[in-house]
């Protein structure tokens, strides 16, 4: 059996319990060495497990290693960074396993975009600010389909999280400014979210490229953009006394000073 497992964003205790248990059972572990924290291997793998780093392998070599292990009756974990469903290149592996009639399953992981929000102590979906998150990347050596150019997506002005783009920030800045964002729209560069050497650089859309340059960041970072990084937002209806839900009757109107939580972004808004 082959288990695709999300390793989480970096911290070794941010893998799921299921993922850690599968790692402990594996005879063969093929891990994405460019991003998976190797201390996960030390902590969870059996000492006799065979470990391969896929950063130096092709798809064909990865599939050949899995197939060989499967024919020998072994258990394989294919360990991907964050959650495997985002930029994980797992579909092509699963299709190859389907063709070879090899069974597999997938264990999700904590994506870097969740790790980044935690590092920032931020909420991406603030009422009256943004109720949508666009997860995308800047077009570089890998093209993006028509209709998904960054300047088109930027027209929405909602919360945006850019993967795989930290080395292309001049272009990112230009494209974002062609949309609904302005030079002053808040942005944050989150380098190695949840790793011991995590770093956060707060800036604006107009200073993204300069901020990354000054801090020597050009990889392993997420770019987060939008008003969610600002001070103003509306409090949630979910916990508003005057708002009835399926679980709670409406009571009194809230005291006026609580109706808008503007300026108290970290302290006082609902958690769910």
Q: For binding to ligand SAH (CB under 6 A), which residues are involved? A: 9-10, 35, 80-83, 86-88, 111-112, 115-116, 163-164, 190, 192-195, 220-222
Report the residue number whose CB is nearest to ligand SAH. Answer: 82
Q: Smallest Cα–Cα separation from 40: which of 65, 62, 14? A: 14
Query: Considering the complex, what minimum distance in angstroms separates the CB of residue 190 from ligand SAH?
Result: 5
Query: Considering the complex, what minimum distance in angstroms separates the CB of residue 101 from ligand SAH?
Result: 27
Query: Considering the complex, what minimum distance in angstroms separates the CB of residue 3 from ligand SAH?
Result: 16
Q: Smallest Cα–Cα separation from 26: which of 65, 56, 59? A: 65
Q: Which is nearer to ligand SAH, 11 or 261 (CB)?
A: 11
Radius of gyration of the chain (CA): 21
Q: Which is nearer to ligand SAH, 88 or 157 (CB)?
A: 88
Neighbours of 201 (CB within 10 A): 18
Q: Which is nearer to ligand SAH, 9 or 179 (CB)?
A: 9
Helices (H), 72-181: 91-99, 112-120, 150-153, 169-177
Query: Considering the complex, what minimum distance in angstroms separates the CB of residue 41 from ligand SAH?
Result: 16
Element (DSSP H or E) covering residue 23: helix 17-25
Q: Which is nearer to ligand SAH, 223 or 261 (CB)?
A: 223
Q: Smallest Cα–Cα separation from 126: which of 230, 203, 212? A: 230
Query: Considering the complex, what minimum distance in angstroms separates the CB of residue 54 from ligand SAH?
Result: 13
Query: What is the rounded CA–CA span in Å between residue 59 and residue 63?
Result: 6
Q: Which is nearer to ligand SAH, 127 or 167 (CB)?
A: 167
């Amino acid at each position: 059996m082959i288990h695709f497992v999300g390793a989480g964003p970096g911290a070794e205790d941010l893998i799921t319990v299921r993922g850690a248990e599968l790692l402990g059972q594996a005879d063969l572990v093929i891990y994405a060495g460019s991003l998976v924290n190797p201390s996960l291997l030390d902590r969870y793998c059996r000492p006799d497990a065979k470990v391969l780093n896929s950063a130096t392998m092709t798809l064909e070599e990865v599939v050949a290693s899995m197939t060989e292990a499967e024919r020998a009756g072994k258990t394989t974990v294919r360990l991907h960074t964050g959650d495997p469903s985002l930029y994980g290149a797992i579909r092509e592996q699963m299709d190859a396993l389907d063709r070879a009639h090899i069974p597999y399953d997938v264990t999700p992981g904590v994506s870097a975009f969740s790790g980044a929000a935690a590092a920032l102590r931020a909420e991406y979906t603030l009422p009256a600010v943004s109720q949508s998150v666009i997860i995308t990347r800047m077009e570089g050596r890998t093209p993006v389909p028509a209709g998904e150019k960054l300047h088109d997506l930027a027209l929405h002005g909602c919360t945006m999280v850019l993967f795989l783009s930290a080395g292309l920030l001049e272009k990112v800045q230009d494209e974002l400014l062609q949309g609904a964002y302005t030079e002053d729209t808040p942005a944050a560069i989150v380098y190695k979210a949840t790793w011991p050497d995590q770093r956060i650089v707060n800036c604006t859309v107009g200073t993204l490229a300069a901020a990354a340059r000054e801090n020597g960041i050009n990889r392993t970072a997420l770019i987060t953009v939008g008003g969610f990084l600002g001070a103003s937002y509306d409090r949630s209806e979910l916990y508003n006394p005057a708002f009835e839900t399926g679980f709670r009757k409406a009571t009194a109107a809230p005291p006026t000073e609580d109706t808008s939580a503007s300026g108290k972004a970290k302290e006082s808004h609902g958690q769910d």
